[in-house]
A and B are shown apart, each in its own frame.
Chain A
Amino acid sequence: MTALLDVQHLAVTFDAPGAAPVVNDVSFMIAPGETLGLVGESGSGKSVTAFSILRLLQPPGRVVGGRIIFEGRDLLTLPERDMRAVRGARISLIFQEPMTALNPVMRVGDQIAEALTAHGMATRRDARARAVELLDAVRIADPSRRVRDYPHQLSGGMRQRVMIAIALACRPPLVIADEPTTALDVTIQAQMLELIRQLQAELGLALLLITHDFGVVAEMADRVAVMRAGRIVEDGPVRQILREASHEYTRQLLAAVPGMRAASAGRTR
C-alpha cells in the first residue's frame, strides 16, 4: 500500500517566548480512498495539523520540523506557486462554518465556478454548467435556480452542501474536513455525513476527518488517531480503538461521550 499522504514528525510552534510546540512529532498516513478520523479536544492541535498540510498556517504559527509527503512530493519544500496548484485541486478543505467560508456577495454558482477556472479545469462557460451539475451532485433541489442564489438565501445545511460542492469541484484525491458538521443540527449532520460517504464512494477520494465527536468517527472513519496537547497518543483501526482503547486519555474521551458517561464532579484547576 502506498500512502497518498504521509505526514512524518510534523512539528509546529507559535513563536512566543518560551512557548511549547503546538504540534509535536505528529506522524500519520492516509491511503487512497481511506478515511482517517483525527480526534481531539479544543487546543489539541488537530486543526493546526490540517492547516499545516495545506500550508495555510498564519504567523506566528510556523512549521519547524518534519515532512508532509503527498503524491510523492514534500509539500513543505514546494514553491508557493506549485503549492497553489495543490490547494483546492489535489487537496481541498471543508470548513466548520459555511457562513464565514463562503463569500457573502458572490452567487454560489460563481463560487463553485471559480474553483474550476482558478485551476484551469474549465472555461468560464463550462464552469457554469459544471456548477449546476455539482449542486445536483450534492443533492440540492432545483440546482439551475439555486446557482443564482447568494449564501444568505440558503439554509445552514444547503450552505454546507455548497462548500462540499466547491471542495469536490476539481475531484481532489484528498479532502480535509475540519469539524464539517459541528455547527449543524443532528438531523442535518446525519444527512451531511451520508452525503460525504456517498460522494467518497463515487469519487474514491480519501478523507482526513477532524472532529471532537467520537460518534461521528464511528460512523465515518476506517482508522482513528487521537491527539492530545500536540501529540498523537493513540492510533489504529476504528473498531479496535472503540472496543479496547489502550491509552488512558482515549478511554477518558470515550467515557465523556454522552450515552457512555461515567463522570464525576471534579474540581477544575
Chain B
Amino acid sequence: MPLLEVRGLTKHFVRRHGFFRPPSIVKAVDDVSFSIDEGEMFGLVGESGSGKSTTGRCILRLIEPSGGEVYFRSENVLSFSRARMRLARRDMQIVFQDPYSSLNPRMRVGSIVEEPLVIHGIGSAAQRRARVVELFGLVGLEPGYVRRYPHEFSGGQRQRIGIARALALNPALIIADEAVSALDVSIQAQIVALLIDLRARLKLTFLFIAHDLRLVENICSRVAVMYLGRIVEMGETRALFAQPTHPYTRALLSAIPVLDPDAPRQRITLDPSSFDRDAPLKAVGDNHWAAI
C-alpha cells in the first residue's frame, strides 16, 4: 500500500487580462496521478513552468488544488478540515530550495528548528531543547551552533538547518523541492548523501522535486517527468533513462552535458507538434508509462 497516492491532481490559475477581455486559465497542474511507497525516493522532474513545485505544494495544501485527490495513509487530505490538516502536516514536511530566504534572519537557528515543536505544543522547554541538539547531530551540524543566526552559516549548512526543521516533528514524508539546486556541486553531493543517509536511518519517504536529471538518476528508484502541467512519462529510473519514450523526455535527456568531450553529441530538439498533449499515460514496458 502506498504511503502517498495522488489521483487526478489539478490546479488551475485564472489569469485576468483587464476589464473587457475574458480571463484565461493556466493549467499549472493538469490531471497528475502517481503514488509513492513507504521508504521510497520518488523523483519529480521537469523544467521551469512544468508544474512540479505546484504539485508539491498542492499535496501539502500550501496551495489549494482545484481538483483531484491526495491520499496519505489512505486518507484524502484534501477533505481534511484546517485543524485536521495542521495535524497531518506533522507527518508531511517540505524542504525548500532557497536556504537564504526560507530561514528567518532574526531568529537563532536553534529557535528555527524548535519552532515546529512549539507550534504543535510538543514537549517541555527542556525536552524541546534536547530534541534540537539531537536534530543538529542528525544533520551533521555542531550542537554548539544553536545560538547563532542564519547569516553566520554557508549555503550548505543553512540547508542542513532547513532539513533539521523539517525533521523536528518526525515526519513520514518529506517533499524536497529543489532542495539542493542552489548549492555548489560539491556541497550538493554532501546534502544528497545526507538525505540518503537520513532516509535509511529514519525510514523516511521522499518526493524529490528537481530539474536536474543527473541528480534524480542517481538517487531515485522511480521518476516522473512533467511537461506543461502533465506527467508525460513515469517509471523505474533505470528503465526510463535507458529507454526514454516520450519526445519530451528524449529531448530533455539529450540536453544534459556529458563529461566526455569526445562523446557523440546528438541533440534532440523538441517538436511540440510531434505528440498529443492530451494523450493519457499508457504502459510501454514493465513499470514504465508514457503519454504517447
Contact = CB atoms under 8 A, between A and B. Distances in A.
B121 interface: no
Nearest to B188: A256
B96 to A, nearest CB: 18
12 contacts: A41-B187, A42-B155, A42-B184, A185-B48, A213-B185, A242-B260, A253-B186, A256-B188, A257-B185, A257-B214, A261-B189, A265-B193
Interface stretch (B32-40, B58-66, B250-258, B280-288): B250-258
A212 B187 CA distance: 12
A187 B254 CA distance: 8
Contact of A190 (B141, B188, B261, B267): B267
B215 A258 contact: yes
B184 A41 contact: yes
Given A186-B47, A268-B141, A257 B259 contact: yes
Contacts of A238: 261
A189 B47 CA distance: 11
A100 interface: no
Contact of B47 (A187, A254, A257, A261): A187
B105 interface: no
A267 interface: yes
Given A185-B48, A190-B254, A213-B257, 15 more contacts: A41-B184, A185-B211, A186-B255, A215-B214, A215-B259, A216-B257, A218-B261, A239-B262, A253-B185, A253-B186, A256-B188, A258-B185, A258-B189, A261-B192, A263-B186
Interface in A126-170: 156
Contact of B256 (A42, A186, A212): A186
A266 B190 contact: yes
B212 A258 contact: yes
Contacts of B256: 186, 215
B257 A41 contact: no
A218 B156 contact: no
A96 to B, nearest CB: 13
A70 interface: no
B193 A263 contact: yes
A259 B261 contact: no
A95 interface: no
B75 interface: no
B259 A258 contact: no
B218 A259 contact: yes
Interface in A219-269: 219, 238-239, 242, 252-261, 263-269
B194 A265 contact: yes
Contact of A215 (B186, B188, B215, B258): B258
Nearest to B191: A265
B184 A218 contact: no
Contacts of A264: 193
B157 A268 contact: yes
Among B157, B251, B258, B259, the most chain A Cβ lie within 10 Å of the Cβ of B259
A263 B252 contact: no
